[in-house]
């Protein structure tokens, strides 16, 4: 299901199988898969419009940080020097599905907090060595290079693939049916820049695939990170490929290590 492409019936069948695998990765069932463990560099971005979004950050008398708060040296070094937009996902604990996602934009040498939202991650927590079906989200730094979903493109600058094929299977619980109205691919065991449902897994199937940002259903995921529809719409408008956006994600102890 390439953006703007027309597939033959045989190609559509293959794509449908790959998409179902990707949907399972993010879905609310235990049959879903997670993603591989390649951390990659990525872009940055200010909110859209950048000036308005950055001005929404709360005023503070404390000095503005020159690095992302509560991110230790190990992961800080993996944030590309070109990145000027970071979504930090702070998990409550190694075995917790609760998290907070914070968007930061870089102005000169300073990282400014733009906006934050409640979030969920893998229902069993986090891991530095994600495996297929472990129901834990991967810890690391990953680029954000493509988006898609059931709903029309809200105006994102990311490449966007719209299709009804993203819809969650109707045998899933109804609370999950809108999970993939909007998705942003996390470049974790996938080829950056390809549509979110692309099935290529450079590290192999055992490392999983299909790790996305997607709409929240009120509890943990199979490995993805889920946020409210409002948050996803905001991120889709805010993320700018020219600013090399990345996500830094993990439980708080792992992030600080």
DSSP for 18-30 reads HHHHHHHHHSSST
What is the per-residue pLDDT across 9-47, written as a single tens digit (0 to 9) for each?
334 443 444 455 556 556 444 333 333 333 333 323 333
Q: In this predicted structure, what is the pLDDT of residue 170? A: 92
Rounded distance, CA 71 to CA 253, Å? 9
Q: Summarize pLDDT for 186-230 with one digit per residue, the tens.
A: 999 999 999 999 999 999 999 999 999 999 999 999 999 999 999
Distance CA(120)–CA(92), nearest Å, equals 10
Query: What does DSSP assign to residue 66?
Result: S
Q: Give percent above pLDDT 90 in the chain.
A: 74
pLDDT tens per residue across span 95-110: 999 999 999 999 999 9
pLDDT confidence of residue 15: 43
pLDDT at 61: 52
pLDDT of residue 214: 98
Cα–chain-centroid distance for residue 204? Answer: 20
| pLDDT confidence of residue 218 | 96
Per residue in 127-140, pLDDT tens? 999 999 999 999 99
- The strand ranges marked E within the chain are 85-91, 98-107, 110-120, 126-127, 137-138, 140-149, 160-162, 183-186, 212-215, 225-227, 246-251
| Out of 54-68, 146-160, 236-250, least confident range | 54-68
Its pTM surpasses 0.85: no
Average pLDDT, the chain: 83
In angstroms, the CA 161 to CA 194 distance is 10
């Amino acid at each position: 299901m390439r953006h703007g492409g027309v597939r033959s019936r045989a190609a559509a069948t293959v794509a449908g199988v790959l998409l179902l695998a990707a949907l399972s990765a993010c879905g609310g069932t235990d049959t879903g898969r997670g993603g591989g463990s390649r951390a990659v560099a990525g872009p940055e971005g200010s909110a859209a419009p950048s000036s308005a979004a950055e001005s929404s950050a709360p005023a503070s008398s404390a000095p503005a940080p020159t690095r992302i708060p509560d991110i230790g040296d190990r992961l800080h070094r993996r944030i590309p020097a070109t990145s000027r937009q970071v979504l930090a996902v702070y998990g409550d604990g190694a075995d917790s599905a609760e998290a907070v996602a914070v968007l930061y934009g870089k102005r000169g040498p300073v990282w400014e907090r733009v906006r934050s939202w409640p979030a969920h991650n893998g229902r069993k927590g986090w891991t530095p060595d994600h495996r297929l079906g472990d129901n834990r989200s991967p810890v690391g730094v990953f680029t954000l290079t493509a988006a898609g979903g059931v709903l029309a493109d809200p105006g994102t600058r990311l490449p966007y693939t719209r299709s009804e094929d993203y819809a969650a299977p109707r045998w899933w619980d109804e609370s999950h049916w809108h999970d993939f109205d909007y998705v942003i691919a996390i470049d974790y065991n996938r080829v950056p820049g390809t549509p979110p449902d692309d099935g290529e897994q450079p590290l192999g199937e055992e490392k999983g695939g299909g790790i996305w940002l997607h709409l929240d259903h009120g509890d943990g995921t199979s490995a993805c990170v889920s946020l409210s529809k409002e948050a996803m719409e905001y991120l889709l408008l805010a993320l700018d490929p020219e600013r090399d956006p990345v996500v830094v994600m993990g439980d708080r102890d792992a992030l600080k290590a």
